[in-house]
Structure 1
């Protein structure tokens, strides 16, 4: 029984350490705890959040200096979310309209 508890402990710790942090709700310490977010960036996020909550990833990338698509992908992989959503890449920034299929030539 003791061996099972010892084996289970690291797994529980790993799950707890990968808990997602929402950019609109996370404290400065929680944001700073993510890989890729240092004290300066967490302060920029908090300052931008004072103007209003972030609507989505493009809103975050527009309002916080230093967060572009590549950085957003890394932060999302580390557990950062915006309104519970992970970064979706370029498709999330601007949905493209589907082109109508071309009619065959007679």
Structure 2
């Protein structure tokens, strides 16, 4: 089951951007430069703020800055959400 999950996450990254408002921990960890701690930080931010309004808002999460965004912006998306 884990192998299937990894394959699905890998396919998502090949064919589309990771939605930082909907991705689970495993999907977030597939983003270049995101390990378990950073994935948890994203999930915690979502829990506290409901969602990211834009991809750029990820810079508000501890451990994420301009360089991270420059390297990964094309692989990220922030779906609309209701606050």
Shared fold (TM-score, shorter chain, > 0.5):
yes
Superposition pairs of residues 74-93 of structure 1, within 5 angstroms: 74-77=71-74, 79-83=75-79
Superposition pairs of residues 59-78 of structure 1, within 5 angstroms: 59-62=57-60, 64-77=61-74
Match in the other structure for 1:43 = 40
Distance 1:70-1:27 versus aligned 2 partners, 3 A rule: same
Verify the 8 A CA contact 1:28 1:43 in the aligned structure 2: yes
Verify the 8 A CA contact 2:55 2:73 in the aligned structure 1: no
User: Does residue 30 in structure 1 map to residue 47 in structure 2?
Assistant: no
Larger Rg: 1
| Alignment partners' CA distance in 1, 2:45 and 2:12 | 28
Question: What TM-score results when the alignment is normalised by the length of structure 2?
Answer: 0.69
Q: Which has the higher contact order (CA 8 A, sep 6+)?
A: 2
Q: What SS does structure 2 have at the residue aligned with 1:50?
A: helix
Alignment gaps of 5+ in structure 2: 1-9
| Alignment partners' CA distance in 2, 1:16 and 1:45 | 19
Verify the 8 A CA contact 1:36 1:74 in the aligned structure 2: no
